[in-house]
Structure formats: C-alpha cells, structure tokens
Structure 1
C-alpha cells in the first residue's frame, strides 16, 4: 500500500513538473520502453521526456527525493540491457527531446543536447561544411550523441579519429542531486588537469544523466575515394586491416565475412531503395560524370561485390582535393595488395552516400531476430580468437541448423591498437513491441513472420553467453557494456575501490541506472 502511494505521488509530481505530455504511463508506452533490440525487462513506473535541462533536473530531484531508480535512454538501439531493469518500477528518462544544436564556428565547437541524433547533427553541420571528428555509428538515424557517449561506439570517422569518447570536449551531466556538473573547466580544451570528461564516457549513465555534449569541429573534406578488397582467409584480412589502421590513410573502414555481406549488409529493399541509392551516389559525387561512371560500375558489378571473397573490407578515403584523396588511395592500395585483391567498391560507395540507413537491420534479412556480440582484441589475440570461435561454432552447428540459428561477422579498427570482432546472431522468433513500433506495420507486412520459438531463443541466448565468455578468455574489451558484458570482474581492487568511491560521491543512494556495469 505504501509503495502504491509513493508511486502515485511521484507520478503526480512528475506531471506537475513536466506537464501531461512529458510523462507517459500507458501500457503501450511502458511495453515499448521495456524492450531493447534484444529482449525485454521489467516495466517502468513511467517514462518522462524532459524538453529542457531544467526540466530534467526537476525530474531527477523528484525521483531522488522519493528514492525511485532512474534509467536514461537515448535512441533505444541498445542490445545489452543498457536501459532495461529486470526489477521494473523505475522512471525511464527518454532524453530524445533534449535536441538543441548550437554551432560556434569561430571557436570550432558544437554543443548539442544529449538527445540529438547523429543524423540530425550531420544535417545541421553539412549546411556549414563542417563535421565532428567521429560523426556517428551506422545506426545514427536513431542513435543519439548522449547515448553514444554513455555507451561508447565507433564507425564513421573512427579510423582517423577514434571512437565516440575521443571526440568529446566536455559534457553537462545532471547528477542524482539534480545539480549540473560540467566536466571540463576550459571551453577550449578537454585535458585541463585530470580528465573528468572521460569518467562519464562509457558509464551507461551510472554516474549521472547526460544533458549536453560539446564536440570539436573540422571542415568536411570535399573529395573522396572508395576502395574494396577481398581476402581469402581471416589471417590475411586481419594482417591487412592492422596495417591499414596504423597508417590512418582512410577516414573509416569496416570488414564483413561472406555470410553478412550477402545477407544483412547486402540487402536492399525494392527498386525504390535502389533508385534512392543511385540518386545519393550521383548527388555526392564531386564530378557528375565520375558519379555516372561509378553507377555504371556498380550496376555491372551487381551482387558480385557481395560475394567476392571469404572476407571483404571497405574503405572511405577523404581529401581536401581529388589529388590528395587519390594519393591516399594509392598508398592504401599498396598496403592492402600484399594480402588481398581489389574488388568493386559498391558497398563503401553506398555507405558514403547513405551513412545512416533505416533501422531495418534490427531484424535479419529473412525477418529473423538479431543480436550482435562483440569484443575488442589486441592484435596478437585476434587470429587465435577467430580460430577458437570457429571451433566452438563447428561443435554447435548441427544444433544451430536444426533450429534455424545462423550468424555472420563484421570487423572494425579501434585506433591502431585494437581490433573489433562483431558477431551478428540470428534466430527465428516472434517480434517484440520494440520491433513493431520501430519498423511499423507497413514495413513488417512485407517481411517473413515467425511464431514464438523458445528453443531457438534459448540456443541464441546460450550462444551469446558462450561467445562473451570465449572473448573474455582472449582478453577482449567491450563497448556498450550495459548489463550484458562483464566489467567489474576485470578490475583490480584499487580500481574497484576508486570507482565505488566516485559512485558513492555522485549517487549516494544508488539510484542512477542501478545494475549497469555491475553497480
């Protein structure tokens, strides 16, 4: 009875502070926000969507006074239980309405609300010929700047400039007290004394809720070259990727195995999508005749570009002028030619033209459920892990085939020292509220549908846990820790003590995303 009275009081206070439109507690809304890409958790008490930093502060104060847990959510594309809480009863804070963008061209800084998507930020900066160093993951049509800072991520711009955490100057974070903490004492530099900004990257919101993020600006390089290479073995592919990442000639690159290239990544839905790709390729080509020539090459290559080798890697090279872009491409070709062969560049040309594709890939190419599992390895562990992983899958293949479970792999550099190995796991199963709401009835009506499949789901979950355990054996680190990847078991006693002391100082009642990162 006391719990119910407290919940009623909290709801009333939140509605008074944020207005009726800022608080949702309908069964449909709670069901949607209780699911991520992979699975569901406990139902929140309600979902609040503050439109200003001041409204966010007031919502936090109300929850803190009542002792109610708070869980932040960005674009919702998490698959590691980052905003799911098994116990439920929390207030889920949807940061999507914190969407201001302030561009300071003279000082080369952009400050945006935590809920700004990378696609929206890119559109605003494109108008001024500017960009951030890292400028978003492939899911940037939904992924937010604040969410990427909380989870850590990589993709566009990562070869040249590193992961999301390396492209932030400062953040405004609302602490459990409702106070705003600005993480840097200097507008012009991040590293003015100890790096407080870094403390809040990859924290999954356990130290506070991100409200604003400041990032440095660079000019957009107007000329580009796209390259693709095929490799017959993982060892050859990894050797080439390691050298390419160290050289940092390209802005970004990513690799795919044959299964993923032909399936998820290679999928293009209908003639309308193909025509849009063609229009984007032509629009972004520095020279229209060259753009037409590229379209002809892509048409002639057809699907061959997606099945040209056991492993394929795709590079986007940029330059201030065509001479610089071409020179970088020539140097990169020399590095790659020792290990693979050049193939049609359809895939990176498409990615350059449409960097943030719709979220169709949250289901498999045949309508299957999907979850990625990744690890970041030191280079000396990448090939040994690949060998051990393939042996593990070979031992489970008969069971996987029986239940319709399959997988593919993709890869990315993490600076010059790290190698991201990501496994995309697929299984036939019913969709959740998340898939239905995100993709919509019109799109789903044209996709295969599956009944609930507890056996396939159980196997997929077991494989996921076994893959994570195997990655840990080979010393892998992870992004997007959430509640899925082990974190505290890898820490020494002094490391644990320091982090627990910081947590106790910033969130003494333990109300900020409890359970994430093991806290």
Structure 2
C-alpha cells in the first residue's frame, strides 16, 4: 500500500473513531496547529481530539499500525518547536478535552486530566481552600498541566516549592503501542523504588502521551505581603536573589530589567484590565480597608515602580495570618537592605490579583514578533554569563538597530538553587495564523502590524542561536527543550546509552514525537 493510501485509510479510521468534532482535517485548522508562538512546522495529516484516555489509546494504536508519527500538543504556548514536526504528515494530539479534576481532600491529592489548564485547576481548588505546591506558569489560562509536566516550567510557587516537575506524584502515560502505564506503584508518593515519574517529566512527549497527572495538595495561605525592590546593577540584583533563595521566605518571585519592566511586562491593557485588577485586589484582601489602602498606594505609585532601577525584583510572601506574613516580609526587607531599595509593590500586587494573564504578550508591546530564550545557571556562573551576554549584544547592537531587533531580560528561581535567566527577543514581522487565532482581530486591530520581514526574522534566529551557544558555554540547563535546545550532547556516554535504551524500549519504531530531545 502506498503512503498516500495508508494516510487516507488512517484518516478514515480516525474519523469513524472520533467523529467530525474529534478529527480536524480542514486546511485552515491544520495551518493553525502547524504553528507555535515562534514559527511554523510541517502540516499535520490531521489533528486528533480524543475525549478519553481510552480514545487516546485507540488513536495511538491506529497511528502505530500505519507507521505515522504521533505528536502531542498542550496549550499551544510552546516556542521551542516542541510540537512542530518538520516533515509533516503526522497526527497531532490535542488533549484539551481530557480536563477532568478529581479532588481527594482526605488524602490531600488531586488527579487531573492532562488537558486541564492551570487556571481551571486553581478555580476548582480555590473552592476547597487548597492548592498544589507549584500552581502554574503566567500563561496558565492556556498552559495545561500535562504540557507543563512534559516541558517543565516555573512561576507560581517556584520559590518555595520548585518547578512543575517537583509537584508531580504520578502520571498515566500512553506508550507508542497504545499501552497505558502508571508511573508510580503508590498514588501518594513517587518515591516507591526508582523514580519512574521523573522519567516522564521534561520528556517533551518523546516517551509517551500523558493522559492524567496526580499532584499533592496543601492549604492555601490567604495572607500576603507583596514586596518590590530596585537595583542599580545586575550584580546587586543577583546578590539579592541568592539571599532570597537561601532563606525561602517567599512563595514566588521574578525579576525584570528596565526594558521589560517598562515595555512588555509593565504594559497595561487599558481601563477594563485595570478595573478588573482593582476588583481582584479588593476581593482577595482579608480586610476590605486593607484592600482599599493597597489600591490607594498603587494609584499614588502610578508607573514609577517600572522606572525605579536598572533591575527590579518582585516578591509574593504568604503567611498563616497577617503577623506571619509581616514577619517574613520584615526578614526579607532586612536581608535585602544592603543590596537594593524597596519600591512600590504595584507589580506583585497585580500578579497576586491576576496570576494568569491573557496571552497578549505573545506579541511585543509594539506588535513585534517575540521569542524567549533561557538557561538555568548555577549561581557562581550567573554574573559572568551576564557580562558575556551584554558583550555579545554590544557587538551586535548596530545590526539590531538597523533591523529593529531589540531585547529585554527577566529572571526567576528554578527550584531551591537554580537561577533562570531569560532573554526576550523582539523583531518586526508579520503575524502567523497562530497569533491571529489566539489574539483575535479585535485585539490585533489596536496594535501596530508589520509586513513579512525575512531579514529581521533570520537575524533574530541567528541571535537566538548565538545566545543558546553562549548559555551552553556556561553550563546552562534548559526547560522546554523541544527541538530548540541541545540535550543529548550534554550527556556522558553511559547516560546517553541509557536514554536511548529507554526510548527504544518505549518507542521502538521512533513514532512518538520524533526529534524531540534530539531523539
């Protein structure tokens, strides 16, 4: 049977299994799914949208029999080619319908479908006054629990509880032959013998399709002290972050340079967004007068906090009661007094009130295209990397200015020790179908647009590759590896052999997200 006949037969079988709503073959749909935030890949043969783990297994078995590549997609906010298969002709799995949430309050566990967004999970757990230790990235309106476990990510809860993978206890995974396995022999712990759950964290779907994840639960803390500090140089900023990570007083924190603080991150989306933030501040304040006082301080501060220093760091400190939160905040102020200065806390107050922002930041503040590049560095390498990075930028600046390419940096804790250094690149270019469908014409009509700009795009990509190479020179690790970051080359020969043996055991035909992790 020829390849075209096999594909046609597979599509027919999938249509019978999933129905019209469960299988997308329209060219416009396929073109949308062939894009991530950054760029385009090969056109899928079809997009499968199964309704259950059993349907996932059935679709995988049909793909395996036809020898067609199987590629998973989470919330779609990837920018590392994680679900872009260059060859095309694959079946892309959209598992958004797997969004069931089972809360086990007695055992302090929650099991969620892999397609559950972090925002939906938070809403369900808020009603029980519970949360997961890590509770989502800033993109949690779209980002799914399964996608975050496959890619690894940071943000809410990372300072106190680590990255997304630290909060996974067990996973149900469909392998390349359609078998369903559970990664843990006991639901309440992932450490019953060798850590098989860890095998599927950060795998970018190369080892299997996650259908359900079990996470631990902890009580929410209603009392919060948002704190912000400004620093005149990177060395002082980094010293403050290292102090904060050692103390672990805050639930989460993030840092911004002046370019991002005033531009992409600091940008407000008009009166409606500000009123929504104000309403959330009041709703979440334990006492209404306290909430009103916070709003008044924010109004007086205006945008000044966005311009208070070359670098700014924003902390969210939580406590059992106001005294507990205040004591932690006092300790943090004392520790950072010699390296920075406290400024108005508008930014962390915004984030506390609206932790999951709309995906408007997938374009720059002036409508530019955007892609981030990151690395996780040991603290003793951070300042040296920053110096080398700025030297690279200085050398490139004339050409960047000519092409309208610019950048900014932001930072975050990556577990108890790692320092995540993230560079956001912007360049003038046309929008893809991903941007148009995700943001909508109404939003796009209010920001500048650009014609296709292949020269600027290619330069931005070359700059991205140079930054990745520089990060590698400083021993950086990466989350969201996808097809963008090196992985196999960093392993010694025995570790490399082990990873390849696992891939061979779980996916002997190499059909599961081929090329992810370099496999």
Question: TM-score normalised by the shorter chain: which range applies?
Answer: over 0.9
SS in 1 for 2:303: helix
Q: Is residue 378 of structure 2 the alignment partner of residue 381 of structure 1?
A: no
Shift in Å, 1:3: 1.1
Please state if 1:316 is matched with 2:316: yes
1:282 Cα deviation (Å)?
Answer: 1.1
Which structure 1 residue ranges, 5 or more long, are not aligned? none
1:85-484 alignment runs, 5 A limit? 85-484=85-484
CA distance in 2 between counterparts of 1:16 and 1:488 reads: 40
Contact between 1:242 and 1:416, CA under 8 Å: does it hold in 2? no
Superposition deviation, residue 187 in structure 1? 1.5
Displacement after TM superposition at 1:334 (Å): 1.1
Q: Decide whether the 8 Å contact of 1:118 with 1:135 is kept in 2.
A: yes
The CA deviation string for residues 277-309 of structure 1, in whole angstroms up to 9 with x for no partner, is 111111111111111111111111101010100
Partners of 2:270 and 2:303 lie apart in 1 by 14
Contact 2:49 2:93 survives alignment (8 Å): yes
- Between the aligned partners of 1:338 and 1:185, the Cα distance in structure 2 is 49
Shift of 1:416: 2.8
- Structure 1 Cα separation of the partners of residues 140 and 209 of structure 2: 20
Structure-2 separation of matches of 1:187 and 1:83: 29
1:100, distance to aligned residue in structure 2 (A):
0.3
CA distance in 2, matches of 1:311, 1:325: 25
SS of match in other structure, 2:221? coil
Q: After the TM superposition, which of the residue ranges 310-319 and 10-19 deviates more from structure 2?
A: 10-19
**Residues 34-45 of structure 1 mapped to structure 2, 5 A cutoff:** 34-45=34-45
Please name the residue that 1:55 is paired with: 55
Structure 1 residue 455 displacement after superposition: 1.1
Q: Deviations over 1:316-367 (max 9, x none)?
A: 0001111100011111111111200000000000000000010000000000
| Residues paired across the two proteins, number | 519
1:154 aligned counterpart, secondary structure: coil
Q: Determine the C-alpha separation between the residues in 2 that align with 1:432 and 1:87.
A: 19
* DSSP 3-state at the match of 1:264: coil
- Report the 3-state secondary structure (helix = DSSP H, G, I; strand = E; otherwise coil) of the residue aligned with 1:450: coil
Partner SS, residue 31 of structure 1: helix
> Which shifted more, 340-349 or 183-192?
183-192
1: CA distance, partners of 2:137 / 2:164: 9
The answer to whether the 8 Å contact 2:160/2:416 transfers is no
**Partners of 1:449 and 1:97 in 2: how far apart?**
33
User: SS at 1:41's partner residue?
Assistant: coil
1:415 shift after superposition: 2.3
- SS of 2:302's partner is helix
Contact 2:162 2:416 in 1 (8 A): no
CA distance in 1, matches of 2:169, 2:277: 34
Matched, 1:30 2:20: no
The CA distance in 2 between the partners of 1:9 and 1:210, in whole Å, is 26
Post-superposition Cα deviations, 1:207-262, rounded to whole Å, max 9, x if no partner, equal: 00000000000010111100000001100000110110111000000000000000
State the TM-score, normalizing by the size of structure 1. 0.99
The superposition leaves residues 400-428 of structure 1 with CA deviations (integer Å, 9 ceiling, x where unpaired) of 11111100000001123210000000000
- What secondary structure, in the 3-state scheme, does the structure 2 residue paired with 1:77 have? coil
TM-score with structure 2 setting the length? 0.99
What is the CA-CA distance between 1:473 and the residue it aligns to?
Answer: 0.3
Report the secondary structure of 2:315's partner residue.
Answer: strand
Q: Secondary structure at the match of 1:97?
A: coil
User: Is residue 502 of structure 2 the alignment partner of residue 502 of structure 1?
Assistant: yes
Indicate the residue corresponding to 1:491 in structure 2: 491
- Which digits, 9 at most, give the CA deviation of each residue in 1:257-277, with x for residues without a partner? 000000001111111111111
Whole-Å Cα distance in 1 between the matches of residues 111 and 187 of structure 2?
A: 11
Distance 1:108 1:320 in 2: 18
Does the residue aligned with 1:361 lie in a helix, a strand or coil? Answer: helix
What's the CA shift string for 1:63-122, capped at 9, x where partnerless?
001110000000000000000011101000011110100000001000000000000000
Aligned to 2:13: 13
SS in 1 for 2:96: helix
Are the counterparts in 2 of residues 246 and 415 from structure 1 also a CA contact under 8 Å?
A: no
Task: Tell me which stretches of 4 or more aligned residues in structure 1 moved more than 3 Å.
Answer: none
